[in-house]
Chain A
Amino acid sequence: MSAETTLAAEPRRDGIGGWVRQQWVGALRGENSGILIAALFLTILVFAILLRDTAYLSVGNFVGIIRQTTVITVMAIATVFVISAGEIDLSIAAVIPLSGYAVALLLPEQGMVAGIIVALACGAVIGLVNGLITVKLRVPSFVVTLGTLGLLQGLSRIPTNSLAVVVSDPTFTFWFGSGSLGPLPVLILWSLFATVIGYVVLAWTPWGKAVLATGANVNAARFSGIRTGRVKVTVLVVSGMAGALGGLLYVGQFHGARFDLGSTDLLTVIAAAIIGGTVLTGGKGSVVGAAVGSLLLGAVNNGLIILGLDVSQQLMFRGLIIIAAVILSARAGLRR
């Protein structure tokens, strides 16, 4: 308890090595995404060499990657908020078919606006139920959302008896998946939009700080006058609505709704958030990291497909990447 305790926080390191180290640790702590972007380019480079005789390294393919990852990105950003608040939402991807059917069935009769509103409301209600059970009945969100996951999987087979519904409304499919504004596909704009909004809300609004505080130390947050129960309900509502938006974007892309839309997305969504530097125990999250993480997973997946690996191998590879990311982030945490 002498002079050491009064020293300032560790001095900034100099030089390129120091900078890289700082960026790396920062990325793993969820503070920035510089190193993740580097990792993304490295991955692309590796595949570009492996696949130099194919179309991998083409603008068209990269646009394709971003388009394919849009729904994952949107949901991963919402998941950053949920995990940062110390909760988890396993039902996020299970909202997709429900919201998809809602819009697909309502569109011809009630019009596009009504369909979109009802679809998003479905997600909000599911999130609200998750949140209220978590907060009021004190059931861990892991259990609650595991339950709603199963519930929704069954529920989404009911409206059409597991049949697909085609959507042919050109306005809807243009804005929610298939259109392009000049050279920019609409889906890329959705990714950008979600990232910017998510980043601003987490870093620049009191609510974002309340989310992080709740996840880091509930008691301290409460003693600071933050209504932590309300924060938790809100993040789960946001998460449900993100799932619903994901449903709209899939319907727009595939021109129809099916009960198995997004059925393999949950793992990818959580993986993107964690690779992006969001810590599973709460209190730390990075929106930009999640967006880059989602792109990274998309680029890897795309490369593996062109390499000719089948689905089983792709799934295994994705699992390995998640484990590696978590080990690295745990090590960064230990070093402190």
Chain B
Amino acid sequence: MLATPPVAPGGRPGPTVSDAVTAPTEVAALAMTGVTKVFGQAKVLDDVTFRVNPGRIHGLVGHNGAGKSTLMKIALGAEQPTEGKVVIGGTTLEYARPAEAREAGVGMVLQELSLIPTLSVADNIFLNDERRGRSWLIAHRTQRREARRLLAELGISGISPRDKVGDLGIAQQQMVEIAKAFRLGTTLLILDEPTAPLSRREVLALFELIRQTASLGRGVVFITHHLREVFEVCNEVTVLREGKITLSRPTSETSLDEVVLAIVGGVLHKVEAESARPPVGRSEPLLGVRDLTVGDKLIDVSFDLHPGEIVGIAGLAGSGRTVLLKTLFGEIRPDAGAMTLRGRRYRPKGTADAIRRGLFLIPEDRRVHGVVLMHSIEQNVILSVLPEMSDYGWYRPSRVRRTVDDMMRALDIKATGPQQLVSELSGGNQQKVVFSKALVADTDVLLLDEPTFGVDVHTAAEVIRLIRSEVERGKTALWVSSDLPELLLVSDRVVVLADGRIKSVVDRDDKEFTEDAMLRAIQREGAGLPTGTEGDT
């Protein structure tokens, strides 16, 4: 365990005592009572009561899939709760229209940017709430003036209201998005992972802005994976775990360790005996990476992948994990460093070259990059091996049928037949189709980006078993996952990435091979708490 001071002194707005929390007579910025949400069989939220008082900054943390996003979608009126009530600044949501929450004074920064790239900054800020002159025409000049004042007020520099949003950098777009949300969020401001594309300096500016927002008497909900940020800026923190609240208290009365425990479920993660495997003989590495550098996204990354092992990559979004996989897959050209494949120099000319040489990327977003939804299972499976499915340019239906049947049987793809459209399959079966593309292509190095994301528990277990059996046959896998327990379950070694650098490499028999240690290790440098103890264990 790391001895981390539980509370950062200073830098937090308002009184540190929880006076506002204990004053229930005050009209809450957001009051969600007894909210339950059931999707089909799954209970995503279970009797959640969540209250944000005016003038307070409330951190909301938890695993992916713990229910944070669903909770906020309900607060935004985008999703209707199965049970429970949502009141925003005294207005009860009726769920007649999604614009309801907006009218009640909720501003939000979504994970995916919701700006219109072809419109100007001012047009975006005032979208659907345009300033008008005496006529029905938009008062562009007024809008620009107000936008300029808003940006200045928020301390956002270098952006002109006339700039086209599509021409701005991603961090600047994020600032515009925040400005837009700030203007609308007169009662409540919800920020879902707003810091991911921002640099440290911009994060500090954002925190200042959040504090300012709260000091105006608005409630703020701040969702993040960066736990240090919670202690840096929030007055209160609520932890969701499997749809239930496991911790909710002022940040001054809790600690990073306690929050981490609430996220992972009270018990330290134990490595199942089932997953203990004979140590991998350190033979010739299949894939070697030396000092790989891609801009400032990936810096001096070096590691080896041996046949028969699964190496996990732990890191938050923006840590460089996806960039690493894409570089290995030939989609991004590295700026510096060397790669070797089976002892020979490896410089893929593109993804087709990488596949030909035995690498395959199971992409993060399977619906976009993984499968062609509107095509059949058969067409998808053979997509990566079209040349092998034909002789002299002629398509061989019998060979195709045999290959696809084999794959569907091997992976137990549940479908009416090879002609069923992939869009009609469940998420788990879609992911199996993606895997079959890797398998038919005779892959030696599997690059996996969140391979079990959005897949049900049963199929996820199947996927894990499948990858392991492939690896045991002398292949190797690089596994990126935000799900730390899963990562610890499957990996022989875990490479911890943060800010584009390898922070540590933890072996399975290391005492740091635990979820809470990893969760601490993947946090960004320099945020909030004095860094001190990390890294030197």
Contact = CB atoms under 8 A, between A and B. Distances in A.
B372 interface: no
A4 B296 CA distance: 11
A247 interface: no
Looking at A204, A226, A336, which has the most chain B CB atoms within 10 Å of its CB? A204
Interface stretch (A5-13, A62-70, A138-146, A158-166): A5-13
B199 A221 contact: no
Contacts of A216: 116-119
Looking at A205, A223, A226, A284, which has the most chain B CB atoms within 10 Å of its CB? A223
B3 interface: no
A226 B169 contact: no
Contact of A1 (B98, B119, B166, B198): B198
Interface in A218-265: 219-226
Interface string A190-234: 000000000010001110011011001101111111100000000
B116 A8 contact: no
B74 to A, nearest CB: 15
Contact of A5 (B98, B123, B172): B172
A8 B114 CA distance: 21
Nearest to A225: B99
A2 interface: yes
A239 B120 CA distance: 26
B352 interface: no
A256 B114 CA distance: 51
A223 B114 contact: yes
Interface string B121-140: 00100011110100011101
Q: How large is the interface on A (under 10, 10 to 19, 20 to 34, 35 or more residues)?
A: 20 to 34
Contact of B118 (A200, A225, A284): A284
A213 B127 contact: yes
A204 B138 contact: yes
B167 A213 contact: no
Given A223-B110, A224-B128, A336 B169 contact: no
A210 B115 CA distance: 12
Nearest to A279: B118
A219 B114 contact: yes
A188 B179 CA distance: 45
B15 interface: no
Contacts of B171: 1, 5-6
Contacts of A131: none
Contact of B114 (A4, A212, A217): A217
B130 A217 contact: no
B98 A225 contact: yes
Interface of B: 78, 98-99, 102, 108, 110, 113-119, 123, 127-130, 132, 136-138, 140, 158-160, 163-164, 166-172, 197-199, 201-202, 296-297, 318
Q: Which 5 A-B pairs have the closest CB atoms?
A: A225-B99, A220-B114, A8-B158, A5-B171, A283-B118
Given A204-B140, A224-B102, 20 more contacts: A1-B171, A1-B296, A4-B169, A5-B171, A5-B172, A6-B171, A7-B158, A8-B158, A8-B160, A205-B137, A206-B138, A209-B130, A210-B128, A217-B115, A217-B116, A220-B113, A220-B115, A223-B114, A226-B127, A283-B116
